[in-house]
Chains A and B, each alone.
Chain A
Amino acid sequence: MIKFINFLVAAVFAGTPLLFGTLGEIMNEKSGHLNLGVEGMMSMGACAGFMVGYLTDNFLIALAAAFIAGLLGALIYAVLTVTFMADQNVTGLTLTIFGIGISNFIGEYMIVNSHTNSLKLPEVISQQVKNIYISGLSDIPVLGQLFFQYNPFVYIGIITAIILSIYLNKTKTGLNLKAIGENPASADAAGIKVTKYKYFNILLGGGICGIGGAYCSLIINGGVWMSNSVNGLGWIAVALVIFASWSPVRAIFGSFIFGGFNVLKYYFPKDIFTFPNAFYDMLPFVITALILVITSVRKSKKNTRPASCGINYYREER
């Protein structure tokens, strides 16, 4: 039982960076843009968050810097695909390569110029990002451990997901955005400013991805700079969007489930049955494939990918 609770806690820990990446990508895809640059935007966020934290000793400024870095990455993507109509897949892949490259470049530059050949965040920040403790609530057995003792990112992620869900489903702006994702020409005809919406949501998505990157460099890597700190999580997030069927709230559960898959091999009791390690590594992707098959068999229009996702909108071709 204790082992199972430890497993759930570890799943949340491992799923949180995926949650940010997934939310960011959902915002991109809802506006009709398949952005494969999640990994790159997360890397930029990881680097900016770490370096600013390192220089300012302030967690909130670091968080803001990570958001802005992800946003700038997304800006490159938005200018190229929305304004210049570049191919979305190619632009996204390039953004990934660029983002990883520039963050490693800056990291290397900082390490070379440090005295100790190592960059470690000051205690102040480590204290700010450590697991919270609410006296009373955190002490409740089981429940306290499950709900009230994570690091701040976990709560920020869940709140972001809920806000995005309200934004998409309960507000007029959200409705307009979904219309653009389904059929930009109709939305345009209805008087919605397509380009403005696309820019806003792509940038917002990029910023959220950036915060996910900061999680990698501040939490997972324990406040010591390492190159390739995101190391493929951004790609899992892209797959997770399908798993969450483009819903921010389902993304919460989806990312924690994927986080669970990630850590399953460390918690599965080996004395009962031993699977090869590759089996565990394969699980999330098999499940994603299964979900793709199931949704395509059901042919339901609900919970599917926005119809115009991946296709650039040429106003003149209406």
Chain B
Amino acid sequence: MQQSVLTALLGSAIGYLVGHWLGNLIASGYPVVQSSGYNNVAIVLGLCFGVVGWMVGIGTMNYPLAKLVGREPVPESPTEGWTRFFKMTLDHKVVGMQYIVGVLMFFFTGGLFAMAIRTELLSPTTHYWGPDTYLQLVSEHGTIMMMMATSLVVGPFGNFLVPLMIGSRKMAFPRVEAASFWIFMSGFLVILAALPLGGFNTGWTGYAPLQTEAKQGMDCYLVGFAVIGTGMILNGFNQIVTIVNYRAPGMRWTRLPIFVWSMLATSFLLTLATPVFFGAVYFGALDRTVQTAFFVDAHGGSSFLWENLFWFFGHPEVYIMALPGFGIVAEMLPVFTRKPLFAYKVGAAGMFGVALLSFFVWQHHLFQSGINPDMRPLFMLTTELISIPTGFIYLVGMGTLWKARIRYTVPMLFCLALYFNFLIGGVTGVYLSDVPVNVTVHGSFFVMAHFHYTIMGGLVFAFFGGVYYWMPKMTGHMLNDRLGKIHFWFMFVFFNFTFFPLFIVGLLGMPRRVFEYAPRLAHLNDFSSISSFVLGASFLIFVANFVWSIWIDPKPAPQNPWDSKGLEWQVPTPIPYDNFKRIPIVLADPYHYGEPDALPVADLGGELGLASVGAAGPSAAAGAGTSRTGAGDGQSRIVGGGPDE
């Protein structure tokens, strides 16, 4: 039987049962297990073994295991047809598209939980859910969304685009790439498994010691974040190695697309911040399974330890969710303004400035916790300093718009929405960083609205912009323009209607994660709730657009529909397995709009039926390089056989 998602499910079921049996064997006699009726050892082991079973079942272990036992491993052959999306594959483009579907599964599931939360908050005192169920929903929503957001762009676009943009045939470690995706998806199963296990009631922050006394769903949170964290580390370091080592000749650092810069900065955050959290969830699992006391004050631990470890990861993670959005936006702006990117170097430096500073701000989450109170001015300073490099994205954007030729395409609308939303999110962030004001707004709905404005208003809008922008290259079909615009306007308007009132609600004294609130806040909450339902429904328009454009009324997209100069648009659609017949020689950065003397972005070599892309050869340097060549004859699929690099 060929390995696919079905064998992976089988593997995970077997693994879970084995782990659960082992856990019962070890711990069913523990006094706490007998009196509480909860065997956390069995659950944790079951989940861990289940994930291993999943990874074996999908086939990520075949190659290393064969090597381990000294056999000659069978190399994975490139797979064909639609089933390849349900299998392990070494094609970075397929992994990218798998990631898109994967993150959308996270996103839509989390979105349903969000609407469930808003349902409860329709009334200040009448309860649709029980209070324990409500907290499960809040926690599942937060955790799923955070898990998704860490990979929302680095996963799909990072894997799909980075090799194409830097002129490589593949990611540095294709098997690691596949493993990072499949372990990410196993995290989805793990975190959803929390529901039948009674859920967890700590929110996505998982503060101990509440964590230690929580129900068994908490084990899913701990194992789930460890699993997702593994995927983040694998993906992050794969990106770094690829970007540093697999750039085509001529792809100097000064020619690197700004999106690749954002991926590089994000990947450093992924690889450096996540291990800290990995340690924290390990401590948490030990506290819950074998009664260590890392986080229990009365036994020599400290509740501050979790807060510190969590936010030491959690704050860089916040920028893991911001930088890719900036990258997408800055990548698309030159295309739709027909201008070079303004202040390219400042933009790239800003991303690294944000990445570096983000390791020095975590205690602003603990301003009112009583830890290191005398350090608050310092963390206020670092937090406010980070708004300087973050502001560079506005410098880049506003400079690029200056005297531009702006085309209001769907991706461009999403770009501009990011600037609007992130402005509100960023300015409210300054309120939060100011310690005296933080006294009032900390832990309230104000915070909640703030980070939804930055993460959803920023990253998620950028993600959908990216989907509309790169879909023609991924699938060969344009998404419908009119449906796209309807989707955009519904999403933009109702996103703001949903979250803007929550700033006011927070300022008026409503803490986060409560199921009861003051009756005077009912109108604002109702407005937000009803808007959130429309916001949720707006994604149906996206699904409709997708179904319509890909299956019902498919129209082949031109090779370069937006007239972009980016290297990824110079390859034929569908993209050959090896991307480039010959490794391109990069001649210029992809932003030379309005520069008639500039060289084309790369020399792709003109032979072997790839003539349409050969227009960019040095001899054609005089041309503007924006020729609309159509799909050309590059449709034939070229599998393997390319010269070795």
A and B held together in a complex: no
